[in-house]
Amino acid sequence: MIVILKHNAQQEQIERLKAFLTNLGLRIDESRGDHSTILGLVGDTTRVDADLISSLEAVEAVRRIQEPYKKANRKFHPEDTVVDCGGVPVGGGTFQIIAGPCSVESEEQIVAVARAVKAAGATLLRGGAFKPRTSPYAFQGLHGDGLRLLKLAKQETGLPIVTEIMDASHLDLFADVDVIQVGARNMQNFELLKVLGRTDKPILLKRGLANTIQEWLMSAEYIMAGGNERVILCERGIRTYETATRNTLDLSSVPVLREKTHLPILIDPSHATGVARLVKPMAMAATACGADGLMIEVHNNPKHALCDGAQSLTPDEFADVVRRVRIIREVAK
Amino acid sequence: MIVILKHNAQQEQIERLKAFLTNLGLRIDESRGDHSTILGLVGDTTRVDADLISSLEAVEAVRRIQEPYKKANRKFHPEDTVVDCGGVPVGGGTFQIIAGPCSVESEEQIVAVARAVKAAGATLLRGGAFKPRTSPYAFQGLHGDGLRLLKLAKQETGLPIVTEIMDASHLDLFADVDVIQVGARNMQNFELLKVLGRTDKPILLKRGLANTIQEWLMSAEYIMAGGNERVILCERGIRTYETATRNTLDLSSVPVLREKTHLPILIDPSHATGVARLVKPMAMAATACGADGLMIEVHNNPKHALCDGAQSLTPDEFADVVRRVRIIREVAK
Amino acid sequence: MIVILKHNAQQEQIERLKAFLTNLGLRIDESRGDHSTILGLVGDTTRVDADLISSLEAVEAVRRIQEPYKKANRKFHPEDTVVDCGGVPVGGGTFQIIAGPCSVESEEQIVAVARAVKAAGATLLRGGAFKPRTSPYAFQGLHGDGLRLLKLAKQETGLPIVTEIMDASHLDLFADVDVIQVGARNMQNFELLKVLGRTDKPILLKRGLANTIQEWLMSAEYIMAGGNERVILCERGIRTYETATRNTLDLSSVPVLREKTHLPILIDPSHATGVARLVKPMAMAATACGADGLMIEVHNNPKHALCDGAQSLTPDEFADVVRRVRIIREVAK
Amino acid sequence: MIVILKHNAQQEQIERLKAFLTNLGLRIDESRGDHSTILGLVGDTTRVDADLISSLEAVEAVRRIQEPYKKANRKFHPEDTVVDCGGVPVGGGTFQIIAGPCSVESEEQIVAVARAVKAAGATLLRGGAFKPRTSPYAFQGLHGDGLRLLKLAKQETGLPIVTEIMDASHLDLFADVDVIQVGARNMQNFELLKVLGRTDKPILLKRGLANTIQEWLMSAEYIMAGGNERVILCERGIRTYETATRNTLDLSSVPVLREKTHLPILIDPSHATGVARLVKPMAMAATACGADGLMIEVHNNPKHALCDGAQSLTPDEFADVVRRVRIIREVAK
């Protein structure tokens, strides 16, 4: 960590600051220039509050050199983490495809979709039982019933299930869920992250709507700091000024994360684009830049499409995507 | 709501869509152009799922004409809402100033700050007991003890207290709190909003990091739909590409919200800028564009400033801000 | 185009507006709802000024249904455009790779790089002679000398050359250039676009720093409206809040543009990411989502790397990228 | 400037880097930590290319400590700059209001508006003769005729005139213009900035659509480096994800700029919001946070408003704004 002192900082203020920093167990290397003096802090700065330091009268700015995350940091954990998801390994050179409907609607629907995506090559089943909806008047999911139906579909197909939690108080209902998803809007719901950090379930942590890669890794760190190191990251598009797509899929995050962390990285092209026609090209691109897998929405009833989301593929479209990404995966490895 | 049909939509698809829309109780006005046909939907479209409609094969795009919020909408509730906050009215032509420290740290600290801000003209006291921190290793607040100390400060000064809740399971601890704050990171924690909608406490709802004004009003609608119409909106800066300030304070949101909603609108210049020197000019600007009040961080110990946030004013600086905004308020009314 | 009237619009205002619109040769289809009345405008609305209409007292909002671009619009020109760039076809199912150094520095440098990239599979040569630099104190390029050296490299290798113009007054110097590039910062330099619209050179139009896809197509339309329809689009990353990469590469723009326009679409992963290590994965991703080609920075002197940009590949790294994208291209077609 | 070396940087690479930096006349202060080594560079780093340094294999990151602008920097020029604009001083504690129509349309129009805004308290006249329009099919201004009409309006009212230049080749036409405006889309048209840097006209430099405060000051530096130090900055809203206003007015930029530069700072609430109703509150807010003046669009024909922009005030509305901001100005000083 670097502390840049103000031009006109008083010696007494500087001394008080240095004493404070030394008390934190840090060594101070000082560099005096014509217009500014810089303190280089050597030691464990993870727990230093940069906002606090930068508030001091004598300080112009503070810059972190070390990343503020440890357990998620590849520097301290060079090997890829492989997360066992109900028998399916995610990360570490594997490539997994999670597929299923936006919402669980009925036994018939979820079992049919589960069979179709399994036949097409999916290795995990997704389906929403608790749905975060912008409007209080929109369908919020089948809740406990939805989780029960997912379990049925798992029994029918053997596919482990991935589904979203929206509140820590619902955790008991997730006992038979293989991977618990934290949605974009809850990426910084720190109380929920802490509770999940005390479970032993794999956690699929989606990137927040407008969160930086560093904030995302800090949210992973919340879960890991609680003892649960089974975290999977999933990029689903970020908010930008462009409105041609629902979000802007930030695929560069894949190689950036690969350097910074050992955790597996998935891409959700369905939510990122919000348009079914864009899912195939973006799934292929995600695979080409090195993602560890994909999460794709598939529906089963193209003819009566009134109940399916704008971003869902038919099983046939999905099968075509799987076939192509498997080839690209070989080139991208 | 306007539905734009595709150039090449088949007549059968169009008929199925029209039947679906008519079943929802909507009247359809059709306008056929050379390159596109437009369906104007007349009736209550609040519960129509625009994503669902736009997913249909025959549909090119859907545009909302009516706002999707009702209870928060000034169209259906032209009079300003005035929220009684422990005896202090917020909204409806009043101007209130909430002030206090970032975090509650000790009895001595919170009582001293409470007295200082009251003397300077604050009308409500703020202080964090549950702190949403990006890092799991940072100080997370005094929790229940913090709430107890806030209550002491209220007893000493008579100032009603405003403090943040981070999880619905903590609600019982907030029995003596006058205004419950929902932080930016929880603006779309819908489960929390639903629980707060079943209380009768005033809710100060901060705008999310990168949420639109419409999403913000939809989150207010969540609380109001549950029966609690005592919602206060608070802008605290949005995330943009500019890094010179922590966030970009979107002051235009004040006159925009004034037209769209009857709810009171406050501004938090401290969190928006993240820099104490910028709080005074932005507090004045917020007042000039018509905000119903301010929320400002004040600390009590400028000499030992090591424990105070970069964005906090001293009591004297705060008193100067209060004096000036009171004058500007008269011009802005 | 849809005009939404205000709830309380006066009949006289509405009549004046209707007369104005009818005078523009538009037919008006009216739809009256409980809370708003909508006018559907049928006819050529390309030249209607939406800002002007939305300024009227009676009008609440205006929404475009038709795109405001014509010549660039795939609706009116369904076949892919193929741009002949000094004998190399760009677009229409071809896949071209433009490579070369950030700046032309010397004959030795540009000829060596040109030979290396040709050997590795590049089909066009890039190199900057006029460099847009944020700082007036930074190296601004060799100007006319740089163009002369590029011509030499073309003579040596046969590769057509692509280089950036920064001002219309320099146009005479570009007589031997095969493709004239318009940089991101000049995407809305409308006077420059108009001048280029009167030439017969292929124009490589980079997307502006924070421009929407629609604004980008409107800038292409500027060139095409002048008579020059040889426009190639090149995405190079957009500005977002994320700072882990220099820009955020918006790969979703490729399939989005594919639907909206018949013009060729290239991707520049070098400028988008600003980091050499990220060029390879993003070049592969760009190919996988269907781009018509790539533009990649390559330098020739890895050992004395002090003079090469952070985002440049070595010839060997570049050859590896070419090999992989050629395979992916087969799957993505 | 701080150079952070990679964990695994080789000693030979480090030595080569140090030799390179020493050759630039910089002193190097080294700080070795457990996980990283930091080089503090002391001396004039304005001309050091940070991108170049950060591209080196041994380097993890580079952080600037000093601002890269000199002539625009308050550190080296503590006194406020006052720019004489045809006899009207801008900056240095003055408060000026530029007003006029979006476009010059006729002698009758511009003279009438000029008289009206002068009577209401405007001190400079604006009006567009060259109009940057997104669409090639939209009205592009009266060009030379527009400039001639502005001159007439100046003769009638004595108000100095401010108008936009779009290309360096038009400069001769601007001989009688008092202040030359550079629009947002040309903020990084470096060739235009260089040409303007060789004139002695006051330059009103608008902030680019999505440019940082630092980039804006670097564009001012371009003009100043050419010898013309008469630069006025004008904020006009930045592009964000929010669509309720055309742009997001970044008023925090006023106090931020006040610290960083000695140049005058104006605010254009008309273009920022794009909505006439929002101009008054935002003009008041701009004044309250310390701007040196305002630039406001006023039209003269509210009854036949079909030709006026959505963002223009009537003369009466403008007069009300002027009256209020004059009072607020006294409190904000």
Range from A233-247, C94-108, C284-298, D8-22 carrying the lowest mean pLDDT? D8-22
How do strand B27-32 and strand A88-90 relate by DSSP bridges?
unpaired
pLDDT band at B302 (very low <50, low <70, confident <90, very high): low
Say if the Cβ atoms of C35 and B75 lie within 8 Å: yes
Q: pLDDT value at position D13?
A: 84
- pLDDT category of residue D307 using cuts at 50, 70 and 90: very low
The pLDDT assigned to B130 comes to 95
B141 pLDDT higher than 70: yes
D37 pLDDT band, cuts 50/70/90, is confident
pLDDT digit string (tens) for A6-35? 877 888 888 888 888 888 888 888 888 777
Chains linked to B by 3 or more Cβ pairs within 8 Å: A, C, D
pLDDT average, residue stretch B257-268: 98
Band (pLDDT 50/70/90 cuts) for residue C302 is low
Quote the percentage of chain D above a pLDDT of 90.
70
Q: Sorting pLDDT into bands at 50, 70 and 90, what band is D303? A: very low
% of chain A surpassing 90 pLDDT: 70
Percent of chain B with pLDDT over 90: 70
B183, two tokens: 């932080």
- Mode of pairing for the β-strands spanning B59-63 and B2-5: antiparallel
**CA nearest to D237, candidates D206, D193, D278:** D206
CA distance D99 to D311: 12
The 3-state DSSP class for residue B2 equals strand
The count of CB pairs under 8 A between chains A and C is 120
| Residue C112 pLDDT exceeds 90 | yes
Give pLDDT, residue B307. Answer: 44
What pLDDT score does B310 carry?
Answer: 72
Task: Give, in words, the CATH class of B2-63.
Answer: alpha beta
Query: Is the pLDDT reported for residue A74 higher than 70?
Result: yes
Q: Which spans in D231-332 are helix H?
A: 253-260, 269-273, 276-288, 315-332
CATH of B74-332, one of 3.20.20.70, 3.30.1650.10, 3.40.50.2000, 3.40.50.10300: 3.20.20.70
Q: What is the pLDDT of residue A302?
A: 52
Nearest alpha-carbon partner for A216 in C244, D132, C15: C244
Inter-chain contact C248–A245, Cβ cutoff 8 Å? no
Instruction: Annotate B125-166 with DSSP letters as a single string.
Output: EE-BSS---SSTTS----THHHHHHHHHHHHHH---EEEEE-
Mean pLDDT in residue range B192-219: 98
pLDDT band at D309 (very low <50, low <70, confident <90, very high): low
| pLDDT, tens digit (0-9, with 9 covering 90-100), for B84-95 | 999 999 999 999
Contact B1, C28 (CB under 8 A): no
pLDDT above 70 coverage of chain C, percent: 96
* Pick from A62-76, B274-288, C205-219: least confident: A62-76
Q: How far is CA C248 from CA A249, B241, C235, C243, C269, in A?
A: 9, 11, 10, 9, 10
Q: Residues in chain C whose beta carbon is closer than 8 A to a beta carbon of chain A?
A: 210, 212-214, 238, 240-245, 248-256, 259, 272-273, 277-278, 281-282, 284-290, 324, 327-328, 331-332
C-alpha dist (Å) from residue D219 to B100, C57, D206, D216, D231? 41, 39, 10, 5, 10
Mean pLDDT of D314-327: 96
Q: What is the mean pLDDT of residues D182-186?
A: 97
- Mean predicted confidence (pLDDT) in B294-308: 70
- The average pLDDT across D260-273 equals 96
By mean pLDDT, which of A111-115, B150-154, C63-67, C73-77 is the weakest? C63-67
Kindly report which listed range (A214-223, B131-140, B321-330, D262-271) carries the lowest average pLDDT score: B131-140
Q: Is the pLDDT of residue C305 over 50?
A: no
Residue of chain B nearest C64, judged by CA positions: B63
Which residue from D194, D210, D312 is facing C209, i.e. has the nearest CB? D210
Which residue type, as a one-letter code, is found at position B274? G
Kindly report which listed range (A51-60, D6-15, D140-149, D189-198) carries the lowest average pLDDT score. Answer: A51-60
For chain B, the structural domain boundaries read: 2-63, 74-332
Least confident of C32-41, D70-79, D222-231: C32-41
Task: Report the C-alpha gap between B228 and B234 in whole angstroms.
Answer: 17
Residue from C94, C252, C290 nearest A324 by CA = C290
Minimal CA separation from C59 to chain D, in Å: 10
Q: How confident is the model at residue C40 (pLDDT cuts 50, 70, 90)?
A: confident
What is residue C309's predicted lDDT score, i.e. its pLDDT? Answer: 63
Cβ distance B29 to C34 less than 8 Å, yes or no, reads no
* Strand C59-63 with B293-297, pairing: unpaired
SS (H, E, C) A69-105: CCCCEHHHCCCCCCEEECCEEECCCCCEEEEECCECC
What per-residue confidence (pLDDT) applies to D9? 83
**Do strands B179-182 and B161-165 pair parallel, antiparallel, or not at all (unpaired)?**
parallel
Structural tokens at position C4: 């939404």
At residue A155, the 3 state secondary structure works out as: helix
Name which of B166, B209, B311 is nearest A210 (Cβ-Cβ).
B209
Say yes or no to pLDDT of B186 above 80. yes
Contacts of B243 in chain C (CB under 8 A): 243
Nearest to C105 by CA among C97, C114, C96: C114
**Per-residue pLDDT at B309:** 63
Helix B315-332 × helix D315-332 angle, to 10°:
160
For residue D53, give the nearest of C102, C308, C277, C140 by alpha carbon.
C308
Residue B235 has a pLDDT of 98
C-alpha distances out from residue A284 to A278, B275, C259, D38, Å: 10, 44, 18, 40
Distance CA B16, CA B53 (A): 12
With a cut of 80, say whether residue D308 has pLDDT above it: no
User: Lowest mean pLDDT: which of A162-176, A282-296, D7-21, D211-225?
Assistant: D7-21
Q: How far apart are CA C70 and CA C77, in angstroms?
A: 9
Average pLDDT of chain B, as a whole number: 92
Answer whether D192 sits within 8 Å of C167, measured CB to CB. yes
Instruction: Summarize chain B as % helix, strand, coil (round to 5).
Output: 40, 20, 40
Return the DSSP state at C313.
B
The pLDDT of residue C257 is 98
What mean pLDDT do residues C131-137 have?
90
Question: What's the pLDDT tens digit per position in A77-129?
Answer: 999 999 999 999 999 999 999 999 999 999 999 999 999 999 999 999 999 99
Give the closest of B213, B251, B331 to D327, CB-based. B331
User: Taking the CB of residue B121, how many other CB atoms lie within 10 A of it?
Assistant: 15
Query: For the residues B222-244, what does the mean pLDDT come to?
Result: 97
With CB atoms and an 8 Å threshold, state whether C4 touches B65: yes
State if pTM tops 0.90.
yes
Q: Is the dihedral of CA B106, B112, B116, B122 positive or negative?
A: positive
Mean pLDDT of A200-222: 97
Strand order in the sheet with A59-63: A27-32, A37-42, A2-5, A59-63
Dist. CA B265–CA B292, nearest whole Å: 5
pLDDT bucket at A313, cuts 50 / 70 / 90: very high
User: Are the C-beta atoms of residues A26 and A41 closer than 8 Å to each other?
Assistant: yes
Reply yes or no on whether the pLDDT at D11 is more than 50: yes
Q: Are strands D124-126 and D96-100 parallel, antiparallel or unpaired?
A: parallel
Question: CA B318 to CA B276: how far, in whole Å?
Answer: 10
Q: Examine the pLDDT at C307 and tell me if it is beyond 60.
A: no
The alpha carbon of residue C291 is apart from the nearest alpha carbon of chain A, in Å, by: 10
Q: Which two tokens stand for residue B92?
A: 């409806």
B180: left (phi over 0), alpha (psi -120 to 50) or beta: beta
Share of residues in chain A with pLDDT > 70 (%) = 96
The per-residue pLDDT for C233 is: 98
What pLDDT, on a 0 to 100 scale, did the predictor assign at position C43?
A: 83
d(CA A223, CA A276): 32
Contact between D211 and C209 using a beta-carbon 8 Å cutoff: yes
Averaged pLDDT score across all residues of chain C:
92
Q: Token digits for A258?
A: 């690969």
Euclidean distance between the first and the last CA atom of chain D, given in angstroms as a whole number: 35
- Average pLDDT over every residue of D300-322: 75
Of D182 and C57, the one with more pLDDT = D182
pLDDT for B308 beyond 80: no
How sure is the predictor about B45, in pLDDT bands with cuts at 50, 70 and 90?
Answer: confident
When the pLDDT of each residue in chain A is averaged and rounded to a whole number, the result is 92
How many CB pairs lie under 8 A apart between chains A and D? 61
Residue B290: pLDDT over 80 = yes
